[in-house]
Each structure stands twice: as C-alpha cells, then as structure tokens.
Amino acid sequence: MAKKKVLFVCTHNSARSQMAEGYLNARFGEIFEAFSAGTEVTSVNPYAIRAMDEIGIDISRQWSKKLDEFFGVEMDLLVTVCDSAKGACPMFPWAKEKIHAGFSDPSAASGSDAEVMEVFRGIRDEVTGFIDEKFGDRI
C-alpha cells in the first residue's frame, strides 16, 4: 500500500512546518510520507532542531524548501500551519484535501536562550498534539 503524502506549509519553512514534517515521519511514517515547504525559503531554525531533538527526533538534515518545488506534485493532504500560508495556498490544486491548523510563530520569540526554547517547546507540543489527534484517526 502506498503511503499517503502530506505537505505542511508555513511562511518561512523554518520551524512549524519543519517540526510537523519530522514528527509525522517519525510517528506515523509507515503510513504517511511528510514534506514541508514555505511561501518563502529561509533555513531550519536551530531552536526547532533543538526542540525536536529533546523528544528524540532529528530534523537537522531537513532543509527549507519553497512551495514552488511541489507544484504539480499530487498530495493527499496539504496542511497550512500559519494564517499567511493559508491565504497563499488556495492556488495549490494538487492536494486532494486541505486543512488549516494555525500555530503561533515561535521564530518571533525573544528573550534569553531558555525563554526562547520554552516558546519553541510549547509550539512543538501543540504541533505534535495536533498530529497525534488528526493523523492517529486516519490510521
């Protein structure tokens, strides 16, 4: 049986969508194949890498990809994880289904290293909770 393809999209493809890609592949990779992209390209946020590493998931080899790279690629599900990406994705007709889950941008966090990490942990936990709830039901 072919794996269902899921594309997570946010603005910069640096944190929320990267965490979602890594978690879905690690947690439900036998059923789903996850990808991530952004409406802009940056790099994977080091805090996102650290936050995921804390739960045993290595996203350090992932890279930021532009949504354009997936044009014409059929996806079973497209998940926008920020409101600005939601506005940009109605133009993605290659997804069989689209859903939205808006998460705050942890990259906007400021303060000490510990304070920023706390923000990233919170978003990580929201993202992983969403995936457990939405994708666990699809098994």
Question: CATH assignment of 4-129, given 3.40.50.2300, 3.40.30.10, 3.30.70.1230, 3.40.50.1110?
Answer: 3.40.50.2300
Q: Is 82 known to be catalytic?
A: yes
Which two three-digit tokens encode residue 15? Answer: 């944190």
Which of 10, 34, 48, 131 is labelled catalytic? 10
- Cβ 19 vs Cβ 59: under 8 Å: yes
pLDDT in tens, 2-17: 999 999 999 899 999 9
- Per residue in 71-112, pLDDT tens? 999 999 999 998 665 555 556 788 999 999 989 999 989 999
- Position 89 scores a pLDDT of 52
Question: Pick the catalytic residue: 9, 19, 79, 89?
Answer: 89
**Token pair in block for residue 95:** 């997804």
- Residue 56 is among the residues annotated as catalytic for this protein: no
Q: Give yes or no for a contact between 32 and 7, defined as CB atoms under 8 angstroms apart.
A: no
Q: What is the pTM of this model?
A: 0.93
Q: Measured in whole angstroms, how far is the alpha carbon of residue 80 from the centre of its chain?
A: 8
